[in-house]
Amino acid sequence: MAALAGLLVTQFAGATFSDDHVKTSSGIVEGVKAASPGVRVFRGIPFAAPPIGELRWKAPQPVRPWKGVLKASEFGPRCMQLPVFSDMIFRDRPDKPMSEDCLYLNVWTPARSAEDRLAVMVWFYGGGFQAGSSSEPRYDGENFAKKGIIVVSVNYRLGVFGFLSHPELTKESGVHASGNYGLMDQIAGLRWVKQNIAAFGGDQGKVTIAGESAGSLSVSALMASPLAKESFRLAIGESGAFFGRPPAGSAMPTLGETEKAGAKFAESVGARDLAALRAIGAEDLLSAVQRERSLQFWPSVDGNVLPKDVAAIFAEGKQAHLPLLAGWNAEEASWAVVFAKEKPTAHSFPQQLRARFDDRAAEILKLYPASNDDEARKSSIDLASDLFIVYTTWAWLEMQNKTGQAPVYSYVFDRTPPVAPDTKVNGISPKELGARHACEIEYVFGTLKSQPNPWESADFNISNAMASYWANFAKAGDPNGPGLPKWPAYDGGPHAMTMHFAVEIQAVPQAHRDRYEFWSGAAASAN
């Protein structure tokens, strides 16, 4: 026994991390110790070749191996983007904050050795596929690492750099497709995880993909993509999925449509061929995008990453069959953003409905009543939120429950983050905006202190519970665990249970199913 014990000690000693050095498939990286004991962070690890020059608008290519030790102490630069969202804070390298050379990822690991085989959560940021970065403080993975899982956050190309289609790009691709380079970057990040995460103490067979907003939309797309769906075993989505926005039920754009848009963009910048288009400076391309506001660069049905619309793939049961945890925030959108500059009233809200929905307005008013001004304001927020993101996320849960052959867990985030009295967002108090879009992120990651809000004990309790549920799910495909209120699986029926996160954390029957079923019928009749 003594000899066997000595052998085991020798084997594990050889597998422990040495001076925070880890050998990846491309070379050795050196991380740094995080503030929490036992947690190490590796920032700015390249997972694909810089997509510059001839590699602009191509699938991500392998990293060129390096010699020596790569110091992974700083985040890589964020991908090229316009300043779209005021709530985004970046921690990118000060000498190179933004660049086309942006395909870097970060790893937070609590593993003591490469033998630990911990569960892994791979995070994709939000930002409408136009902005965002894995360096944002609210996405810091240290708290999750303290709960025993590894976090990997991945940069991916955005806007015109990530989603431009063009007939010549399609021709040169070798797969008769173009666009969706941002999604390909995410897939390349997952490929890197499969090849390398064991060296950080992770288990390549226990990978959960997760994201918020555009990141959540990405999760739904990766579940549907034949190029990605074998790369993970669990999925988490916060606010959003590619299931068509009501009332038109519009599908994702097709390759033909995006090629036309790309050709129009090339013409607008005076580029007669790909060489000329690739020769234009990155900042000049961003300026051109800002001028051509009618053109949207966004994921599409390209025939390669996505052979069909995401919703169609799910309907056919050809998506990844795996457990899904997904939900939304109580006030995803504001009446001030969607409807008018003045608060809706019992008089104006029905008028707005008639102007927008014509003969269906009376039916919609029954679902979103306005018997008085307060109710009109509440209904306008509910309607704006449903049309923006709630319905599509609900449809994702429903379809995965029907065709995904695995448990589904649903949530609603109800907590309005506390704010200082004089705080304003676009002239409106965040308190008035309620549990607005993206405000749950800091709770999930346990990064409340990255924001200067006057947090209360209830906020830290909610945050700890959400992080624990998410970590439990990543470990076992079930969010439940000791000390947490029971979270029942979602069955899609009239009394389907949904977990609510507020001062009181509890599971209750799903509310407003009649609204979501109405939009489901409206979308079906439009297609």
Give the active site residues.
213, 332, 437
Residue 172: enclosing H or E segment and its boundaries? helix 167-172
The interaxial angle of helices 391-403 and 513-526, nearest 10 deg, is 80
Q: In whole angstroms, what is the distance from residue 56 CA to residue 54 CA?
A: 6
Residues 6+ apart with CB under 8 A from 249: 522, 523, 524, 526, 527
Whether residue 248 contacts residue 155, with contact meaning beta carbons closer than 8 Å, is answered with no
Q: What are phi and psi of 418, to 5 degrees?
A: -70, 145
The interaxial angle of helices 214-224 and 181-196, nearest 10 deg, is 70
Q: Which of 393, 526, 467 is nearest to 123 (CA)?
A: 467
The interaxial angle of helices 391-403 and 214-224, nearest 10 deg, is 20
Say how many CA atoms lie within 13 Å of 73 toward its Cβ.
Answer: 7
Tell me the sheet residues that pair with 9. none
Q: In whole angstroms, what is the distance from residue 106 CA to residue 109 CA?
A: 10
Q: In whole angstroms, what is the distance from residue 150 CA to residue 141 CA?
A: 8
Whether residue 218 contacts residue 241, with contact meaning beta carbons closer than 8 Å, is answered with no
The SS3 of residue 476 is: helix
Whether residue 476 contacts residue 147, with contact meaning beta carbons closer than 8 Å, is answered with no
The interaxial angle of helices 282-291 and 255-268, nearest 10 deg, is 110
Whether residue 187 contacts residue 126, with contact meaning beta carbons closer than 8 Å, is answered with no
The DSSP string of 279-330 is HS-HHHHHHHHHH-TT------B-SSS-SS-HHHHHHTT-S--S-EEEEEET
| Amino acid identity, position 523 | A
Whether residue 150 contacts residue 109, with contact meaning beta carbons closer than 8 Å, is answered with yes
Residue 262: enclosing H or E segment and its boundaries? helix 255-268
Q: In whole angstroms, what is the distance from residue 345 CA to residue 380 CA?
A: 9
Residues 6+ apart with CB under 8 A from 302: 165, 177, 178, 179, 180, 255, 258
Backbone φ/ψ region at 93: left (φ over 0), alpha (ψ -120 to 50), beta: beta
